[in-house]
Amino acid sequence: MKYIDSKAPNLRNIELIVYLVIWLGIFSIPFFQNRQAELVNWSKASVEWVKMSSFLAIFLVNAYYLVPKFLFKKKYSTYILLSLLSIVTILSIAISIRIFLTDSEPITMPPMELGPGMPPMELGSNMPPPMGFKPPAQPVQKSIVMIFIDNAIIALLVVGAGTTIKITSQWLNEEGRRKDIEKEQLKTELALLRHQVSPHFFMNTLNNIHALVDVDTEIAKDAIIRLSTLMRYLLYDTAHGQTSLKKEIEFIDSYITLMQLRFSKKIKIKVEVPQTIPNIQIPPMLFISFIENAFKHGVSYQTDSFVFFQMTLNENRLECSIKNSKHSTNKERNKLYSGIGLTNIKKSLALLYNEDYTLEIDENEHEFEVRLSIPVYISKESMKEKSLSI
């Protein structure tokens, strides 16, 4: 279930090029710093490259694993803990390697000048220095703790820079996806109003209400109210690209109730929704295509038929199942779930949720079922919404 956005690969390529340029520049510094004339002190350069490799490893772990897996999924505590753990682990290994490389270098004394016209005398490690000779002062070596603290500070700056770049890239990617969604909504807005809910549905509903006026005025009044609710939802609530889950369920309930006016009681229609509807926002009319298709292809006047709609909230996932009977006498192919229809549904879901959704379609000789799962953000405050009974 993946719709590939052409802008996303371009952003990833640009991001990768930026990383390569920056790190190639950083890794070239030891080479130029330790080059004198035509000679390069490869020993010192190697020690510096080990140091920089540790920062590169920290950068890669943070940018390509920790940030996408934890920071972007709002697991902030886990992200901070794993970031610190990765810094400590990688720096400990790198400092150990650097100490090993540094200790392996022989300690030599500079040649001693004996005077004018005399060649300098090399001092061996076993030869005592002459009287009055003072070796040059050796630089004070940092303790391992100080080395670790200095490197940790640099590592935190590297992590901060990498995280900033990833967040910027993600924001640009989301902006591109948002613009794609807006374009898609502009293209399909009229199509939703004209085709998602068939004009024949309104015509048949009005005819049914007309017939009920003299038979049962209360049912006729309820049908008029539900039809008004449905029309208001189509005309106003879908215009902003987001609607509340409560309004979406009320719309579905009104639609199914009005559809029931057309069928006898032999047609089993069952609706199950959460008793407590949290105050969350979702894209409008996500489920109406599946429901309309279930009534269109799942109901037969000659044989027993059923349409079941179930919606559940599982942690931060909204899961919906639409199941209907399947009749062998119905030769018409289900066009919604094949060809262009299925492609358009997948494309819309991919634009809205990237890869964070599942759409499963199962069928056998007697049943046809669609299962859709999408992410939603449910806060404790949103669960205080009043119960909704259907």
Q: Which residues pair with 369 in a beta bridge?
A: 323, 362
Q: Where do the domains of the chain lie, and which CATH numbers do they carry?
A: 7-105+142-173 (no CATH), 197-384 (3.30.565.10)
Residues of the chain with pLDDT under 50: 1-6, 104-109, 125, 190, 193-194, 331, 333-334, 339, 386-390
Q: What are phi and psi of 343, to 5 degrees?
A: -60, -45
CB 112 within 8 A of CB 130: yes
| pLDDT score, position 383 | 57
Q: Which residues pair with 362 in a beta bridge?
A: 369
Is 373 buried (19+), middle (13-18) or exposed (0-12) by CB count in 10 A? middle
Residues in the chain: 390
The pTM (predicted TM-score) of the whole model is: 0.52
CA distance 71 to 160: 13
Q: List Cα–Cα distances, 269 to 245, 287, 293, 301, in angstroms.
A: 21, 16, 14, 14
pLDDT, tens digit, for every residue of 203-239? Answer: 778 888 888 887 788 888 888 988 888 888 877 777 6
